[in-house]
Amino acid sequence: MENLSRRRALTLGVALGLVGAAAPVPAWASAGSAAGTAGAGKLAGAGAAAGPGPEWIWDDAADPLMVRMIEGGHVPAINRAWEGWVNNDDPIPGGLPSDFAAYLAQVNRLPSWADQAKLERAADFNRRRDTYLFMLYGLGSGIMSTVIPREAKSVYWSAGGADMQDRAAKTFTFGYDLSELGAFKPTGQFVVTANKTRVVHAAVRHLLPQSPHWKAVADESTPISAADILVTFHSLGTYVHQKLLEWKIPYPAADQEAFLHMWQVAVHLLGVPYEHIPKTWAEAVAQSQRVLTPILTPSTEGIELAEDLLGLTAQIDLGVTRGFLNEFVRYVLSDQVGDWLGLRRDYAAAALVRTAWPAFILFREGLSPVMPGTFYMFDQFIRALAMLFLNKGESGKTTPITIPTGNRAG
């Protein structure tokens, strides 16, 4: 992995809105970065308890179970059996190996510290803010994941990497179920989706180290540590949180707290121990500056994934050109990231995005009475993106999450 200089990482952090103007020098700058360790940078010290840091934590409950399920050839039966297992209050499906069913019964619940009032507020916030959330998760976090080298390489070389459209749809199932009204209630679907994802990650931990392609490019022995999951959380939740503030979207303290709480519960359901999850946004932002900003860098796999993801949008009419899309990505992620990914410049579109998007926000938020001439263009763009990402177009259903049984062939 390329070791970024402190100046370069700080510049990038500022461009991404990940570093406050008056932010102190991040601790990682002197502590050394993740290169050569099994995890994604040193997370210890960010409220972590004594014991191994999250870069040394994987999933004691799910990992050994999934080794048994894969080695025993049970995965196809599990995928079939859990297809109709969707709502949080659905009974654990029949037809599962008994130890797998027992595991699900154990984990398929909210942690004791989950606060329903905050989760409900978060759901309402997601509804009120869905425009910005789609744009930021889809074009910001989604493309950022391609410059998180460990994530890009594991996604590329796992089975799902061969079909990015399907994979993107599954990932958005997670986002959709998380953002739905009542996501965490018995009739919601997020607890089940998170548990399916946790099991998929456990399968990947066993499968990927068997891929000669992944082994040739990975700088770790076992993928998807708790530290890696926290890095991804920062590329999603912490990034969006900071962008909403930067864009001056009305975002009261109670919404901020609720949005954080939703992510805390989500990350915990993915198997990250409570003591390693940031307790405040200030802690999350500091951790993100330490463990996310400095590791962002391009890779062959990431560049191809980004092209696949952006190419997906060519299949539907977004009402904008590819040049506009490239420039929107540059706008939300910085020119540095755009250059890394080789996103072709379109200077006219760049000028449009930089002036019209803030005007669109002001008008939408009732902060300006002037409706920009580009209002309908943005509106159409957002709707089309939402349809694409939610994959709701034809079926009206989200894509089922399935456990892989192998890796990408090559």
- List contacts with ligand HEM (CB under 6 A): 150-151, 154-155, 158-160, 167, 170-171, 174, 197, 200-201, 204, 223-224, 228-229, 232-233, 236, 267, 270, 401, 404
Using alpha carbons, select from 58, 4, 25, 61 the residue that is nearest to residue 230.
Answer: 58
| Least distance from ligand HEM to the Cβ atom of residue 201, Å | 6
Specify the residue, 13 or 161, whose C-beta has the smaller distance to ligand HEM.
161
| Least distance from ligand HEM to the Cβ atom of residue 403, Å | 8
| Least distance from ligand HEM to the Cβ atom of residue 247, Å | 22
Specify the residue, 145 or 326, whose C-beta has the smaller distance to ligand HEM.
145
Beta carbons of 309 and 143 less than 8 angstroms apart:
yes
Q: Give, as one character, the DSSP assignment of residue 280.
A: S
Total number of residues shown for the chain: 410
Specify the residue, 326 or 399, whose C-beta has the smaller distance to ligand HEM.
399
Locate all alpha helices (DSSP H) within 180-252, ordered by sequence: 190-207, 212-217, 226-233, 239-246
CA distance 208 to 218: 10
| Least distance from ligand HEM to the Cβ atom of residue 375, Å | 32
| Least distance from ligand HEM to the Cβ atom of residue 157, Å | 8
Specify the residue, 150 or 241, whose C-beta has the smaller distance to ligand HEM.
150
**Packing angle, helices 281-291 and 226-233, rounded to 10:** 110
Radius of gyration of the chain (CA): 20
Using alpha carbons, select from 207, 201, 150 the residue that is nearest to residue 407.
Answer: 207
Specify the residue, 201 or 330, whose C-beta has the smaller distance to ligand HEM.
201
Specify the residue, 185 or 268, whose C-beta has the smaller distance to ligand HEM.
268
Q: Give, as one character, the DSSP assignment of residue 236.
A: I
CA distance 13 to 293: 6
Separation of CA 144 from chain center: 9
Specify the residue, 302 or 404, whose C-beta has the smaller distance to ligand HEM.
404
CA distance 210 to 84: 31
Separation of CA 173 from chain center: 11
Tokens matching residue 73:
């050839």
| Least distance from ligand HEM to the Cβ atom of residue 228, Å | 4
Using alpha carbons, select from 283, 281, 273 the residue that is nearest to residue 50.
Answer: 273
C-alpha angle with apex 140: 138 to 142, nearest 5 degrees? 50
> Residue with the closest Cβ to ligand HEM?
160
Specify the residue, 153 or 330, whose C-beta has the smaller distance to ligand HEM.
153
| Least distance from ligand HEM to the Cβ atom of residue 268, Å | 11
| Least distance from ligand HEM to the Cβ atom of residue 235, Å | 8
